[in-house]
């Protein structure tokens, strides 16, 4: 085994990424150095948030932007081929790491996580179950409350609706782009009602769906959907901001449109707006693993086979052609 492949940025996209903005390059299988693990990737995550790193114009991102000629990166699950002595890793062990978009990766020992069998499928580790779990936990959701999840058919939303149901939400509302996706949100993802992004004014749909107001919002979109949620917010409601898909999926922009906040309204209604934090990874693993073992939760995802199809999978993800998490099976 001497050859491998990786997906590289060929040119900075103008607008939404297209397959021709990338190339699948043949490269030698990398050699691990001291303190490094050689991993053969089995799956990696294709996610809309990559748009901000491709554009390279958004400040304070946790990772540097990609430059033409560089390989992309993202969450991956793979099999250990070689590991240094004393690392606790053995050949054949499944691990997660952040060097996806390639067939083989050399990763520092401290940046790989050994996977156990708590989840039913290795791909489940690439779904946004942890993000959804933390968002619902952070919201302080109480039994019987009304929850609105923007982007209900996405990687986070497809899990958040189910988790809100398991946490005792009284009514769960999701937003999506098409009636066909809306049917899946109700049939598979735990939602009671769906508002359509491209239908009548979103705030009017939301008022009908939540006549007593929204108590919790898990926001993956921003922009108009966040504004609508705030307009319909009940007294004491909590908003957890998870993503900015309104900008990342915009053919022209790359960050969520600005939302005007009426600070006096926030004060009068005692509304809390906060960004997502990841505070309890062990709690996430135990709880989601338990739900999975009892058949109470599913991990909606789409598998795209072959690294050569990864650029098209990213374009299709940006175009909203999938529901749930999108992974490439290498």
Identify whether 286 is part of a domain.
no
Identify whether 282 is part of a domain.
no
Identify whether 22 is part of a domain.
yes
Residue entry with tokens 């390639």: 102
Q: Measure the CA–CA gap between 108 and 285, rounded to whole angstroms.
A: 23
Q: Which of 299, 301, 297 is nearest to 329 (CA)?
A: 301
Residues 30 and 115 in one domain: yes
Residues 11 and 90 in one domain: yes
Q: Over the stretch 248-283, which tens digit does the pLDDT of each residue have?
A: 777 776 555 678 888 998 999 999 999 998 765 567
Q: What is the pLDDT of residue 246?
A: 84
Q: Which of 329, 280, 276 is nearest to 307 (CA)?
A: 329
Residues 172 and 310 in one domain: no
Torsion of CA 159, 164, 168, 174, to 10 degrees: -110
Q: What is the pLDDT of residue 53?
A: 85
Residues 263 and 161 in one domain: yes
Instruction: Name the DSSP letter for residue 125.
Output: G
Q: What is the pLDDT of residue 260?
A: 83
CATH number at 319 reads: 3.90.180.10
Residues 307 and 206 in one domain: no
Helices (H) and strands (E) counted in the chain, each on its own, are: 10, 15
Residues 172 and 254 in one domain: yes
Q: Measure the CA–CA gap between 180 and 48, rounded to whole angstroms.
A: 21
Q: Measure the CA–CA gap between 93 and 20, rounded to whole angstroms.
A: 35
Q: What is the pLDDT of residue 65?
A: 86
Do the Cβ atoms of 171 and 310 come closer than 8 Å? no
Please tell me the number of Cα atoms within 13 Å of 132 on its side-chain side. Answer: 36
Residues 134 and 119 in one domain: no
Both tokens of 228, joined, read 């609508």
Residues 117 and 134 in one domain: no
Angle at CA 321, nearest 5°, toward 317 and 326?
A: 45
* CA distances in angstroms from 70 to 7, 104, 106, 313, listed in the order given: 8, 15, 15, 19
Residue 195 CB neighbours (<10 A): 26
Q: What is the pLDDT of residue 282?
A: 63
pTM value? Answer: 0.92
Residues 102 and 135 in one domain: no
Identify whether 290 is part of a domain.
no
Q: Measure the CA–CA gap between 110 and 117, rounded to whole angstroms.
A: 21
Torsion of CA 12, 18, 21, 27, to 10 degrees: 130
Residues 160 and 191 in one domain: yes
Q: What is the distance of C-alpha 231 from the center of its chain?
A: 26
Residues 9 and 47 in one domain: yes
Both tokens of 59, joined, read 């400040």
CATH number at 221 reads: 3.40.50.720
Do the Cβ atoms of 273 and 263 come closer than 8 Å? no
Binned average pLDDT, 10 residues per bin, the chain of 330 residues: 92 92 97 97 94 73 85 97 95 97 98 89 93 96 98 96 97 95 95 92 96 98 95 98 86 70 91 85 81 95 97 94 95
Buried/exposed 303-323: b ≥16 CB within 10 Å, e otherwise = ebeebebbbebbbbbbebebb
Q: Please list the residues that pair with 26 across neighbouring strands.
A: 5
Identify whether 249 is part of a domain.
yes
- Overall domain count for the chain: 2
Identify whether 289 is part of a domain.
no
Q: What is the pLDDT of residue 60?
A: 65
Identify whether 294 is part of a domain.
no
Q: Measure the CA–CA gap between 72 and 152, rounded to whole angstroms.
A: 27
Residues 66 and 89 in one domain: yes
- The DSSP element (H or E) to which 139 belongs, if any, is helix 129-139
Domain that holds residue 121: 3-126+299-329
Instruction: Name the DSSP letter for residue 276.
Output: -
* CA distances in angstroms from 295 to 119, 143, 320, listed in the order given: 11, 21, 28
Identify whether 292 is part of a domain.
no
Q: Measure the CA–CA gap between 225 and 233, rounded to whole angstroms.
A: 12
């Amino acid at each position: 085994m001497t050859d491998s492949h990786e997906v590289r940025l060929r040119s900075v996209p103008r607008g939404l990424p297209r397959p021709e903005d990338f190339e699948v390059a043949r490269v030698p299988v990398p050699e691990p150095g001291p303190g490094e693990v050689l991993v053969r990737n089995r799956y990696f995550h294709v996610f809309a948030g990559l748009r901000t790193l491709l554009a390279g114009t958004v400040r304070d991102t946790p990772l540097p932007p990609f430059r033409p000629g560089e390989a992309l990166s993202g969450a991956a699950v793979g099999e250990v081929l070689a590991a240094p002595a004393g690392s606790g890793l053995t050949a054949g062990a499944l691990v997660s790491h952040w060097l996806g978009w390639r067939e083989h990766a050399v990763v520092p020992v401290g940046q790989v996580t050994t996977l156990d069998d708590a989840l039913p499928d290795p791909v489940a580790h690439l779904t946004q179950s942890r993000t959804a779990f933390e968002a619902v936990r952070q919201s302080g959701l109480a039994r019987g409350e009304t929850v609105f999840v923007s982007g209900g058919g996405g990687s986070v939303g497809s899990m958040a609706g189910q988790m809100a149901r398991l946490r005792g939400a009284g009514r769960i509302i999701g937003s999506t782009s098409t009636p066909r996706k809306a049917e899946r949100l109700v049939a598979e993802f735990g939602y009671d009602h769906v508002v359509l992004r491209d239908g009548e004014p979103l705030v009017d749909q939301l008022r009908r769906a939540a006549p007593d107001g929204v108590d919790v919002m898990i926001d993956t979109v921003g922009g108009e959907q966040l504004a609508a949620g705030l307009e319909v917010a009940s007294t004491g409601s909590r908003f957890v901001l998870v993503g900015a898909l309104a900008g990342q999926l915009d053919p022209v922009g790359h960050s969520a449109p600005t939302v005007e906040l009426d600070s006096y309204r926030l004060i009068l209604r005692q509304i809390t707006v906060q960004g997502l934090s990841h505070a309890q990874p062990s709690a996430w693993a135990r709880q989601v693993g338990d739900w999975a073992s009892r058949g109470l939760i599913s991990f909606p995802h789409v598998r795209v086979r072959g690294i050569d199809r990864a650029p098209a999978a990213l374009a299709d993800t940006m175009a909203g052609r999938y529901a749930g998490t999108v992974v490439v099976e290498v």
